[in-house]
Amino acid sequence: MAKYCSLTQVEDMAVGVIYQDLGFDEQSKFDKFVDSLVDRASRFIDRQCQRPDNFFNGGATITEYQDGKSDTNSLTYSGTSRASRADKTRRTYFLEHAPVISVTSVYSNSNDVGETASWAVITKYNLDSNTGRLVIGSSQAVSEGTGNLRAIYKAGYSTTPNDIQYAAEELVVNQLKYLVQQGMASKVRFAQPSIVEFSNPKIFDGGVTEKLGPYKKRRM
């Protein structure tokens, strides 16, 4: 899985922290420990943002199901323009993850719950790749039902955004400085994941929180 910053970037930021401070007897062992922190910090960022693996580095391939919407509202309006707007709302979906890099395929299922799904390819749709807003053509509108829309797509970033990189660097540097401050040098040589506390407010501070904010998965 992708790491969102490099060992060199972290060590350039961790001015004043040397391997002897953490109980290591040589630089290579310290480097290995820091590299493991980079990996853990990257996965912590994934969890905080509720994003799948590789979302922030190359993009993640996602298979997603959404419920088909009722067309009842479009039938309760009088007048063409109102009915048209209601129908467009019925055909509008938002993919869970955005930005969208590419769409492999979109399908609709016309069968009811308990019946074998019958998937038909949807070819008429418009997609806003930045927001994940998907509008299905009126002739291929998805039938009302549970999980009747299936989309297979790739979402995320082809290269790691700067804010995500900086957040990963800050998490690791904050963790290293915290370990030094807590006088845990004698324990680090036998470190277990339990000593890595990225959720600690002194490590996951306001600066990191601010950087991650725009990248968190929106509520559906």
Q: How far apart are CA 83 and CA 132, in angstroms?
A: 24
Does the pTM surpass 0.85? The reply is: no
pLDDT digits (tens, 9 = 90+) for 97-151: 999 999 999 999 988 777 888 999 999 999 999 999 999 999 999 988 899 999 9
pLDDT of 54-95, one tens digit each? 999 999 999 999 999 887 654 444 555 555 566 778 899 999
Confidence at residue 192, expressed as pLDDT on a 0 to 100 scale: 40
CB 198 within 8 A of CB 175: yes
**Mode of pairing for the β-strands spanning 100-109 and 92-94:** unpaired
Report helix, strand or coil for 60. strand
Q: Is residue 131 classed as helix, strand or coil in its secondary structure?
A: coil
Tell how many helices (H) and how many strands (E) occur in the chain. 7, 7
Buried b (16+ CB within 10 A) or exposed e, 110-144: eeeeeeeeeeeebeeeebeeeebebebeeeebbee
